[in-house]
Structure 1
Amino acid sequence: MQEVVKKEIIKWLDARVVYPIADSKWVSPVQCISKKGGITVVPNAKNELIPTNTVTGWRVCMDYRKLKTATCKDHFLMPFIDQMLNRLAGRSYYFFLVGSSGYSQINIALED
C-alpha cells in the first residue's frame, strides 16, 4: 500500500499538482481506495459460496475534510445549469455582477 501511495505522490509532484509543505491546517491527508473489478463467487470457511468484490488496484485520493473546516463556506453558490437556462428563456440579455467591475452584459443570440 505504501508503494502505491509513494508512486502516486511522486507522479503528482512531477506534474506539479502538489508540492512539499510543512504541516499546517491546510494539509490534506491521502486516502487509498480500492478499485473494484466486478463480483466473483468464492467459498468461505464453511464452504459456502459468497459473492465478493475483487480488487484490481488502488486509487489514491485526497481527503479535503480538513481543508473544508479551515476555510469559509461560500454563501453565493452558482445555481444549477437547468435553473440558469429556465431563467434565461425568452431573455435577450444576461446580466451578472463581477466584484471588480460591477455589472456585465452578455448578448444572447436569438437562436439560443
Structure 2
Amino acid sequence: MPEVRKELKICEAHSEKSSVDKPHVTELKELPPHLEYEFLEGDDKLPVIIAKDLSVEEKTALITILKSHKRAITWKLSDIKGINPKFCTHKILMEEDFEPAVQHQRRVNPKIHDVIKQEVIKLLEAGLIYPISNSPWDHFPLPFMDQML
C-alpha cells in the first residue's frame, strides 16, 4: 500500500445527487435579441441558450441531442466530476523565517457587492470554501465616519 502523507486524511467517497436528478429553478437573465432560452426539462428547469435564427428542425435536433446528454453539462459547481472538493487541499509552503504579510480589509464597489455575494454562496454550496468559526475577525466593527454622515 502506498505511503499516505500525514497532512491528508483518508475519507470515504461522498456523492451528492446531480442537479439533473433534482433540478432547481434558475433565475434567468435578459438575453441579446439573437439568443433565446430552451429548457431540457419542464418549462423552467435545465435551461440552455440557443440561437433564435435556427430552423424548427435544427432546434428540435439540437434539443433532442442535449436532452440525451444532460449529464455531460455541468449545471452547478458540484456537478463537475473529479476529485471531491472536500478532499482536495491547498497548501502554501513558505520558508522557515518568512512571516506572511497582513493586509487590511478593502472596501468593495457597492455596484458589484451583490455579484460577489452570489459567487461566495456558489463556492460555499459546492464545498470549495467554508466558514471559519474561531476567527479573530471583528464581526461588529465601528462604521466609517463618511458613511454615517
Q: TM-score range by the shorter chain?
A: under 0.3
TM-score normalised over the length of structure 2: 0.16
TM-score normalised over the length of structure 1: 0.19
Point out the structure with max Rg over C-alpha: 1
